[in-house]
Each structure stands twice: as C-alpha cells, then as structure tokens.
Structure 1
C-alpha cells in the first residue's frame, strides 16, 4: 500500500526544476498560415469579377420588364362619370393592362376600368400618357391607377 504523500514527493511540478523544454508557440497555437499564392489570388479576383458582371447584367435585364406608372390628373364630371389621366413607362414589346379606379370620400371604389396598352413592336422602353373615361355608380372624389401588369 502506497501513501499519497509518497506519490506527491516523487512527482515534481512541470515548471519547477523540470528538464522538459518549454513548449514553443508553434506547438501551442499551430504553425503560421501560409499566405495565399499568386494563382489563387488571381483566380479569386476573376471569380469575383464574373459574379459582379453577372449581377449587373441581371439587374439590367430585370429592369427592362419593369412597369412604372404615375397618376397625372383626374376630373369628376358628374355623379356617373370621371376622367383619369395617367402616365405609363414600359418595355415597348410588352402588352400591359392598367386598372383605373375612381374612389369616393370613404376610399371605396365607385368606378373601375381596365385599359390595355398594346405593344408597339419597337425595341427599348416607351412612355404613354392616357386619359380614360370611367363610369361611376356614385359621386367620386378622386381617380387613380390602382395597378398595372404585363400580359
């Protein structure tokens, strides 16, 4: 039977009078990392450039099919009629429909008309300004474009 005091006496702490060399920083934290090679840097740069050009091309193509519309004016002619003038910018090759609405003082729709803007057959974008007559059920107080969509 061995006692604890005898085990402690034979084992010396590592720092006090030990013959083991102190561990180096490389052993403790690992070897320093190698810098990126020239070929890898060029490859990463070229890859980033290709991705950037691709994103720019996608943004340009996606923007050409966008439909922008603005309300220009409205005129309430009577309890059963109103005129709404609006402006649409679209791709010239697209057929677009717009829902024109007339609202009453509680923002309820009292008149609605769908307007079709045909394709012109040209390339690029085109702007169109239209004035439409909208029949109403009650007296309206404002008129606008509710939405435009491509067919």
Structure 2
C-alpha cells in the first residue's frame, strides 16, 4: 500500500469485485449492441428488392426504364427511378408509387423526362411507404 492509501484506509478491489464489474460491463455492452442491431434491422418491415431489366432511350428528353420489384404480396411500394448521362450525372428522377400486387415479383415500365440526353436509366431504390 502507498502512504496515502494507508493514511485514508483505501484498499484495492478484491479480485471477485473486479470480476463482477467486468461481467456486468460485458453484459451491458452485449445488450447495447443487440438493441442497436434490432433497431437497425427492423425485422417487422417487409424486405424490398429491385432489379433493373432494361432501358430504352425514346428521344433526347425521354427514357423508358423497365425493372422488377420483389416484395411480400399485398405490399405497396414506392420506387425512385433515375436517368443518367454519359458522365453518370443524374439528368432525370421520378418517384413512382406502385400498387400492391398479388404476386411476389412484378415488372414495371416507367417513362421519365430528362433535362439532357440520357445514356442509362435504372431504379435507384424501392421502399415501403
């Protein structure tokens, strides 16, 4: 013991007490990580997947994008469709609400107007509103 510890009666923690603090700390950390995973994964919301099928340039200001959406039957979805130029800059963007389908995978075709000639069109993302 140091002189200050001897003077004021301070003792070092017993190994059993230190072990209990470590166990409590690890348990608390495990609970926090589990709660963050649960919140971020949101297991109650349906999973939405989208896949580009094709695109066709109609003219200098219009492009048609075909894509497929897979989601639980009966779930309405909104998809963001975009048109890109040769530099991968976004020259057109539209959010398309899709009604609930009775089948898991449905295909859709969307024409969107562009601010400049488009070289590519694709579905950016889909989500459940």
Which bin holds the TM-score, normalised by the shorter protein? 0.5 to 0.7
Q: Which residue is equivalent to 1:130? A: 108
Is 1:143 aligned to residue 121 of structure 2? yes
Which residue of structure 1 lines up, in the alignment, with residue 60 of structure 2?
Answer: 79
Determine the C-alpha separation between the residues in 1 that align with 2:44 and 2:106.
Answer: 18
Return the alpha-carbon distance in structure 1 between the equivalents of residues 44 and 53 of structure 2. Answer: 23
Shift of 1:93: 2.7
Bigger relative CO (Cα 8 Å, ≥ 6 apart): 2
Alignment of 1:1-150 (within 5 A): 62=43, 65-120=46-101, 126-150=104-128
Moved over 3 A (4+): none
Per the TM alignment, residue 65 of structure 1 is displaced from its structure 2 partner at its CA by 1.0
Question: In the aligned structure 2, how far is the partner of 1:117 from the partner of 1:92?
Answer: 12
Larger radius of gyration: 1
Q: Which runs of 5+ in 1 are unaligned?
A: 1-61
Tell me, which stretches of 5 or more residues in structure 2 are unaligned?
1-42
TM-score computed with the length of structure 2 as normaliser:
0.63
**Cα distance per residue 1:41-99 (max 9 Å; x no partner):** xxxxxxxxxxxxxxxxxxxxx49811011000001111100000000001123211000
Cα offset, 1:114, TM superposition: 1.2
Shift of 1:119: 2.0
